[in-house]
Every structure is written in C-alpha cells, then in structure tokens.
A and B are shown apart, each in its own frame.
Chain A
Amino acid sequence: ETGVTQTPRHLVMGMTNKKSLKCEQHLGHNAMYWYKQSAKKPLELMFVYSLEERVENNSVPSRFSPECPNSSHLFLHLHTLQPEDSALYLCASSQGALAEIGELFFGEGSRLTVL
C-alpha cells in the first residue's frame, strides 16, 4: 500500500451532480489536508484536520464539504460545482497538525472536470 491513496483518480461531473473524493493514509499520521492545484497557481490549502477535528478552513465555498470520520480517512463531498472548480485535488497527511516540521506526504491526486 502506498502512503496516501486517493480515489477516484479522475472524475467528470455535471454542475448539478453530487460526488465525493476519498483519501486514505496508511502512515499513522495525525493530520490530513485537502489542497487544490490549478494550472499556474500555487497549491491552495482548502481544509486541515488534526485528530479528526477541523482546524483550518481557508474560506472555501460551501459547495465543498469535507468529512474526516477517523484519522486515516478524509472525504471531500462535492455538489453544485462550477466549471472553474475543475482542478487536481490533492490529499496530504503529516505526523503533526499543520505540518509542524513541514513534511507533507501527498496522494496522487483526483483530477476533477466540471462540465
């Protein structure tokens, strides 16, 4: 098993659909993150969970809804998205909250296309 696994790898959805992205980490880490990666932009932090509690939400639109049922799993629920939400969504984990020593471990990403 790789350290951080994301499914699905690719997702195409209409603006009225509801879908979810899933992330699982096998590293025994205590914090998990969702990042958005768009072309020619820096990685944008969306959500941070530490010990299953949300500790940071960078003013993300409510059409993105995270869920962290336990320290190994993280979901990103999507509904009524816009075409500009098309991007690569990266999950990451770290030993401590907010990457206390900066070492994030990333998944392979879920490529989302909103039609």
Chain B
Amino acid sequence: GQQLNQSPQSMFIQEGEDVSMNCTSSSIFNTWLWYKQDPGEGPVLLIALYKAGELTSNGRLTAQFGITRKDSFLNISASIPSDVGIYFCAGQLRGNTPLVFGKGTRLSVIA
C-alpha cells in the first residue's frame, strides 16, 4: 500500500530556532496536508496544498507541495514553546480515496 516517509522522527530545538521537516512518498499525491497534534488532543489541520509547486504560509508556518508531487515540506520559523507537539503529513491520491498519514515528527522546544 501507499506509505509516507516522514522525517525526522523527532527533534529537539532551542526556542527561536527555525524548524524544517519533510514527507516523501513513492507514489504521486494530488493533495498534501499538514496536521499538528498537541498532547492529549486530536490532530488539527495547519495547511492544505492542492497544486504541485504551491507554497503556502500560515503565520510562522510555510509548507510546499513538491514539484514531483511525491514530497512536501513544512517549515516553522522562530519556534516558540507552544509549537511543541507531533506534526503529521498526509497525502490524498484523488477525491474519494482515504488520506495516507505519515508517522509524525515529534517536536520539542527548549526554552
């Protein structure tokens, strides 16, 4: 089945640093999404990408839909303690197919 390889699995950073994580697949996806899950909560959608090459920002977050449609990255600038959590990428091949999720990147921010 389709799989997403998300890296890194975990990262520890100092407050104020920038963060970069990515997701790759052997399959082409037509939609890429990034979710964040806070401890004890369900995932919340951060950014949705619908077009190859698309670069979208949401505050300090920026995500890009890779031109090959097989990858996506998420950057967080000037990290703050509330950025702590697990970040998931998800891809959708086409409408009416289930989302495929990565295993997540666990982010810890040291004040």
Contact = CB atoms under 8 A, between A and B. Distances in A.
Contact of B33 (A40, A102, A108, A109): A102
B85 interface: no
Contacts of A109: 40-42
Given A97-B96, A98-B97, A40 B42 contact: no
Nearest to A91: B42
A46 to B, nearest CB: 11
Contacts of B63: none
Contacts of B3: 42
A34 B95 CA distance: 19
Contacts of A40: 103
A109 B104 CA distance: 17
Contacts of A96: 95
A98 B103 CA distance: 20
A103 interface: yes
A13 interface: no
Contact of B101 (A42, A56, A101): A42
Nearest to A45: B98
Interface residues of A, number: 25
A105 interface: yes
A106 B48 CA distance: 15
Contacts of B96: 97-98, 100
B101 A98 contact: no
A54 B95 CA distance: 17
Interface string B32-59: 0101000011111100101000000000
Interface in B62-111: 88, 90, 92, 95-104
10 contacts: A43-B43, A45-B98, A48-B98, A96-B95, A98-B97, A99-B99, A100-B95, A104-B45, A108-B40, A108-B41
B100 A42 contact: yes
Nearest to B91: A102
A66 interface: no
